[in-house]
Chain A
Amino acid sequence: MPLDQSFVGRSWPPTEPYLVGREKIREFARAIGATDAAYHDPAAARALGYPDVVAPPTFPVAITMAASRQVIADPALGLDYTRVVHGDQRFAYTRPVVAGDALICVNSVDEITSRGGHEFITTRTEVTTEAGEPVVTVWSKLVQRGEEH
């Protein structure tokens, strides 16, 4: 079943602030084997000009994937999550995420298309601090694979 095209261009209310913890950044860095001192040691991060440990580049997805459920889990969209695979992923940074950030996500739907029996939806999440400082914009394209016939 095609996805509801009326979702294109819509934006959703800001999510509750996500408080980025130092131990969460360290846990994420360990999980991907990233050993740079600035991901683990606040003193090393301060030497680079940051107030606390810095997150690796793909860390924001841990926040935005949960935040985008307000869009993709809406039954009105018509997405069958058991048939979804990740298509594309893009990040555009103003600055890295840093421990101590309280981050708010504003989700929008940029595009919904259909090709070869598959459905594609691209969400855009603007991630800012509570004060409205831009941090990173995150685009995710999800693919709902067609039913086997």
Chain B
Amino acid sequence: MDNIIAVIWKTVLLALAAPLVSGVIRKIKNNLRMRKGPTIFQPYLDARKLFLKDEVVSNNASWIFYAAPVIVFASSVCALTMILAAGKAPLMNDGLAILIAALFVLGLGRFFLALAGLDAGSSFGGMGSSREMFISSFAEPAAFIAVFVLCMGGGDGFRISNVLAGFALSMVALAETSRIPVDNRETHLELTMVHEAMVLEYSGRSLALIELASHIKQMAFFTLITFFFIAPAALCPAWPQFAVKIAVIALVFALVEISVAKMRLFRVVDFLTFSFFVALIATIAAGLGL
């Protein structure tokens, strides 16, 4: 019972901190580009502004359009909770089952968001849905194998297999959190949009909910990636350590984003296939006990 309560308040804390991480990444990117950029609290301000706005809903939309933001938000929070819970369990047995279930839960949110993209009947929405499902289905094998490898090693200590798997999972996370080189959240160009195209019809509080959900999903992936690197997976006593790890991941992601170009959609397949093979090599390393 204590465990459950601990997991719940940690989830709340991390969910609250999730927009901050996005703000930090954006700030780092801007500073590296010699710009000042908005404050790191900008995502909170955006969310507040959106929550206070009225909403425009398409005439064509059905109940799916209303339900999707709620389901996406709930699934992101649920996945974050499960990843935190898995960190407390022995990874070898229950941890893996919970982590894999968490990946499935993220799939639930994605499914509804993609449906909502098709719901309004605009071609942008459909394009976004199609691309989102395309990218995520190719990302899934690498994510699953990476989690396998993590659990084969028991989740702690410095292991080559863990580092490789963490690298593979980071590539998946780039795709799943709609970052360059896979997607670009900062533009609204029809050629480059994936995620943004899908949620183009949303406004007001629904959009706020979707944005928050994507921050929390990013937090879930970052938390999962922290399990792979060096220090033990359980993060209960080590808040500063955890915060440092998240900050490092944020820095790395920001650096990747400013130093590579966005890929064509069909190059993403190669990118994700590469991450799959890295994960497979990690399996071999784990099998050899490295």
Mutual binders A and B: no
